[in-house]
């Protein structure tokens, strides 16, 4: 009883906290928020991680600080707001219904994401916990009927466990772990990105295409990396390709372990490194490889870091140039470019993340900024005050990289999927609905579980012609663009050159297409690098097994007398024509001699038998 009472007070606190006024400092309670008839939740990585800080519990624990601003994550958030505003201004979607939103920063961390998700859950449980006996706290506060997010698979997995308990639909725009395909475990989880199961097959196909058989495999130690690399290993086994080194990494790995891993990579004879990891997780290793100037490796990037601003830096290109990565198919969002350029602290009262974005973009502080106060106290480096007249179009920032909208487009599709489900509820005909006895849900009192039911029956074509379905067993088509990291001759920046594509659901089956002439390997080489455990055996030799080594590693043994091999890489030698002819003559002679002997013996035996019956003379 005490636990139940405590839970009721705690959820009451979360609701009041979630709807308090604008908070004046940047921190865990920062959000983008706007009221509406129906409320959508959002989870985005506005920061790449959290500061490492020991909590000795000598005093009340403080909330962990988020660090390293993520400009792309902010653009993804802006995509959600843009889609909602576009729907609210449309006469075709949800007339007389206004969508609102509450969007939080996950800081790319499970704990921060769960903090935000608790506020989504709390309001949905208010009625069942009868909090009105304590206060009238539910008036005019709509429940969160669906959540867009999160980004990383590890974060989405934790959020899905929580939201699934309350049947709150969750649509991720970037979580591709194949574990999340388990509809029994993650019953309210959906996504607008293909599962990694296909990507693992695609990367294996790339390795096979270039005839490499000796590779290094690296993966994030989480729900994204582990299943991805497991599927990759299976594909390698079936293609007779060997993995020399297989390791798990994390952005929080200590420097000594990073150095040991870099040592192992340098000592390996494998030249191809396949990586299933996020940008923050692979960044520490890349920094160490850059420090060592290890330039003779070929990096294969999963979509989670193939275009990451943390790794795709001009100063890293001497080591990372030539990287081959998988990128999601890009979509087009009309009007989004202009929307991004309109961002300004004075015009964004509903979006508290804009202030920090402005300060990070222009390296200045706005008036009344908590950072400005810290700077005056000497706790941070000094920056000038922002004038508010800075021109966003005058700076180079990942935020304005709208030429290839991939994750941003997935966010856009997720919001429209929810809107389409709500539209289907609004236009439902009594007797033909999805609920008991064909009834329809009331759009003015719609609940999360009803939206989830409607989403499970959703089936529509998005603006780039892909079918979006969320029913059991359905996954989005795996269509990837293959990119190659080049250095721009104009300014030295990283250019993602499209060199091919991979389609898992092609009419004629899975299809890989690569234009080798467009690929520049590290060092601007055009010839395909070598990454095999052993050199191919020359004619006149065959492959020999080396005890204790994988099948990809072998020694070349000369053919025995009378045997030959007339091309490279044979498993066994063949008899030469001359030897076969000589052997044939010997066999013929042996057969002939044997036949003559048998014939002679037959005559003698016959004569012997005949003499036994001859009459005496």
**pLDDT tens, residue by residue, 458-476:** 988 888 888 888 887 777 7
Say whether both 41 and 168 belong to one domain: yes
pLDDT band at 379 (very low <50, low <70, confident <90, very high): very low
Instruction: Give the number of domains in the chain.
Output: 3
**Residue 396 within any structural domain of the chain:** yes
**Residue 601 within any structural domain of the chain:** no
Least confident of 205-214, 445-454, 536-545: 536-545
Least confident of 24-38, 39-53, 386-400: 24-38
pLDDT digits (tens, 9 = 90+) for 157-184: 999 999 999 999 999 999 999 899 998 9
pLDDT digits (tens, 9 = 90+) for 229-240: 999 999 999 999
Say whether both 76 and 36 belong to one domain: yes
Give Cα separations from 473 to 67, 122, 456, 501 (angstroms): 38, 30, 11, 25
Say whether both 420 and 488 belong to one domain: no
Say whether both 39 and 155 belong to one domain: yes
Provide the pLDDT for residue 24.
Answer: 32
Q: Indicate whether 279 pLDDT > 90.
A: yes
Q: Indicate whether 2 pLDDT > 80.
A: no
Provide the pLDDT for residue 128.
Answer: 47
Instruction: Pick the more confident residue, 461 or 73.
Output: 73
Give Cα separations from 139 to 136, 166, 168, 293, 423 (angstroms): 6, 21, 21, 62, 25
Provide the pLDDT for residue 84.
Answer: 97
Mean pLDDT of 18-32: 52
pLDDT band at 252 (very low <50, low <70, confident <90, very high): confident
The candidate with the shortest Cα–Cα distance to 87, out of 412, 450, 427, is 412
Say whether both 46 and 179 belong to one domain: yes
Give the dihedral of Cα atoms 227, 229, 230, 235; nearest 10 deg: 130
Q: Indicate whether 316 pLDDT > 60.
A: yes
Say whether both 348 and 457 belong to one domain: yes
Tokens of 417: 């999927």
pLDDT digits (tens, 9 = 90+) for 319-375: 999 999 999 988 999 999 999 999 999 888 899 999 999 999 999 988 877 665 554
- On average, the pLDDT of the chain sits at 84
Q: What is the rounded CA–CA span in Å between residue 497 and residue 517?
A: 12
pLDDT digits (tens, 9 = 90+) for 542-595: 888 888 788 889 888 888 777 767 777 677 787 665 544 554 555 555 655 666
**Residue 85 within any structural domain of the chain:** yes
Q: How many Cβ atoms are within 10 Å of 435's Cβ, its own excluded?
A: 13
The DSSP code for 521 is: B
Say whether both 148 and 257 belong to one domain: no
Least confident of 184-188, 199-203, 375-379, 509-513: 375-379
pLDDT digits (tens, 9 = 90+) for 480-500: 999 999 999 988 899 999 999
**End-to-end Cα, the chain, rounded Å:** 131
Provide the pLDDT for residue 378.
Answer: 44
* Segments forming the whole domain that contains residue 584: 535-593
Q: What is the rounded CA–CA span in Å between residue 279 and residue 277?
A: 7
**Residue 303 within any structural domain of the chain:** yes
**Residue 100 within any structural domain of the chain:** yes
Q: What is the rounded CA–CA span in Å between residue 475 and residue 431?
A: 30
In three state form, how does the secondary structure of 130-155 look? Answer: CHHHCCCCCCCCCCEEEEECCCCHHH
Q: Indicate whether 117 pLDDT > 80.
A: yes
Which of 14-18, 90-94, 269-273, 562-566 has the highest average model confidence (pLDDT)? 269-273
**Residue 496 within any structural domain of the chain:** yes
Say whether both 106 and 175 belong to one domain: yes
Q: Indicate whether 91 pLDDT > 80.
A: yes
Q: Indicate whether 201 pLDDT > 60.
A: yes
Say whether both 232 and 303 belong to one domain: yes
The candidate with the shortest Cα–Cα distance to 303, out of 213, 169, 404, 437, is 404
Give Cα separations from 326 to 206, 323, 343, 513 (angstroms): 10, 10, 30, 13
- Supply the CATH number for residue 44's domain: 3.40.50.2300
Provide the pLDDT for residue 481.
Answer: 93
Q: Indicate whether 131 pLDDT > 80.
A: no
Instruction: Pick the more confident residue, 610 or 183.
Output: 183
Say whether both 127 and 208 belong to one domain: no
- String of b and e for 534-547 (b: at least 16 CB within 10 Å)? beebeeebbbeeee
**Residue 434 within any structural domain of the chain:** yes
Provide the pLDDT for residue 462.
Answer: 83
pLDDT band at 511 (very low <50, low <70, confident <90, very high): confident
Provide the pLDDT for residue 460.
Answer: 86
Say whether both 231 and 127 belong to one domain: no
The HSE-up count of residue 305 (CA atoms within 13 Å, CB side) is 29
pLDDT digits (tens, 9 = 90+) for 92-108: 889 999 999 999 999 99
pLDDT band at 126 (very low <50, low <70, confident <90, very high): low
Least confident of 72-81, 445-454, 575-584: 575-584
Say whether both 137 and 210 belong to one domain: no
Q: Indicate whether 10 pLDDT > 80.
A: no
**Residue 23 within any structural domain of the chain:** no
Mean pLDDT of 507-512: 73
């Amino acid at each position: 009883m005490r636990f139940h009472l405590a839970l009721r007070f705690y959820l009451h606190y979360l609701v009041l906290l979630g709807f308090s006024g604008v908070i004046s400092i940047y921190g865990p309670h920062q959000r983008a928020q706007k009221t509406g008839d129906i409320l959508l939740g959002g989870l985005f990585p506005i920061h790449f991680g959290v500061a490492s800080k020991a909590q000795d519990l000598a005093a009340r624990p403080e909330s962990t600080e988020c660090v390293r601003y993520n400009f792309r994550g902010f653009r993804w958030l802006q995509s959600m707001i843009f889609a909602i505003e576009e729907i609210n201004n449309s006469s075709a979607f949800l007339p007389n219904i206004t969508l609102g939103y509450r969007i939080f920063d996950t800081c790319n961390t499970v704990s921060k994401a769960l903090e935000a998700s608790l506020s989504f859950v709390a309001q949905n449980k208010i009625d069942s916990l009868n909090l009105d006996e304590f206060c009238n706290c539910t008036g005019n506060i709509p429940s969160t009927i669906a959540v867009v997010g999160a980004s990383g698979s590890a974060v989405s997995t934790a959020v899905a466990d929580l939201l699934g308990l309350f049947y709150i639909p969750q649509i991720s725009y970037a979580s591709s772990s194949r574990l999340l395909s388990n509809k029994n475990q993650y019953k309210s989880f959906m996504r607008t990105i293909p599962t990694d199961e296909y990507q693992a097959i695609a990367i294996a196909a790339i390795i096979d295409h270039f005839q490499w058989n000796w590779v290094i495999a690296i993966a994030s130690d989480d729900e994204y990396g582990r299943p991805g690399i497991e599927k990759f290993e299976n594909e390698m086994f079936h293609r007779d390709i060997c993995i020399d080194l297989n390791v798990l990494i994390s952005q929080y790995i200590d420097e000594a372990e990073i150095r040991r891993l870099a040592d192992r990579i340098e000592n390996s004879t494998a030249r191809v490194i396949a990586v299933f990891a996020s940008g923050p997780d692979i960044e520490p290793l890349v920094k160490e490889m850059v420090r060592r100037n290890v330039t003779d490796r070929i990096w294969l990037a999963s979509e989670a870091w193939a275009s990451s601003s943390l790794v795709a830096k001009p100063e890293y290109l001497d080591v990372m140039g030539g990287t081959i990565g998988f990128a999601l198919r890009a979509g087009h969002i009309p009007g989004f470019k202009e929307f991004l350029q309109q961002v300004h602290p004075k015009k964004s009262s509903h979006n508290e993340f804009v202030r920090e974005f402005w300060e990070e973009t222009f390296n200045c502080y706005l008036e009344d900024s908590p950072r400005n106060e810290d700077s005056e106290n000497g706790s941070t480096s000094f920056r000038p005050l922002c004038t508010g007249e800075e021109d966003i179009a005058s700076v180079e920032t990942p935020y304005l990289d709208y030429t290839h909208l991939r994750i941003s487009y997935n966010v856009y599709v997720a919001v429209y999927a929810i809107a389409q489900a709500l539209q289907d509820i609004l236009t439902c005909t009594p007797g033909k609905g999805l609920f008991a006895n064909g009834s329809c849900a009331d759009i003015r009192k719609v609940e999360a579980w009803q939206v989830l039911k409607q989403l499970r029956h959703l089936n529509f074509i998005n603006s780039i012609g892909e079918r979006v379905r969320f029913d059991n067993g359905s996954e989005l088509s795996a269509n990837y663009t293959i990119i190659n990291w080049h250095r721009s001759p104009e300014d030295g920046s990283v250019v993602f050159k499209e060199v091919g594509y991979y389609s898992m659901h092609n009419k004629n089956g899975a299809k890989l297409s690569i234009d080798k002439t467009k690929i520049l390997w590290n060092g601007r080489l055009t010839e395909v690098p070598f990454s095999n455990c052993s050199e191919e055996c020359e004619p006149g030799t065959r492959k020999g097994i080396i005890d204790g080594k994988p099948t990809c590693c072998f020694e070349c043994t000369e053919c025995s007398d009378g045997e030959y091999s007339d091309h490279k890489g044979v498993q066994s030698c063949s008899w030469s024509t001359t030897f076969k002819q000589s052997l044939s003559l010997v066999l013929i002679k042996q057969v002939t001699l044997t036949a003559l002997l048998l014939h002679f013996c037959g005559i003698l035996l016959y004569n012997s038998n005949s003499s036994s019956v001859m009459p005496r003379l």
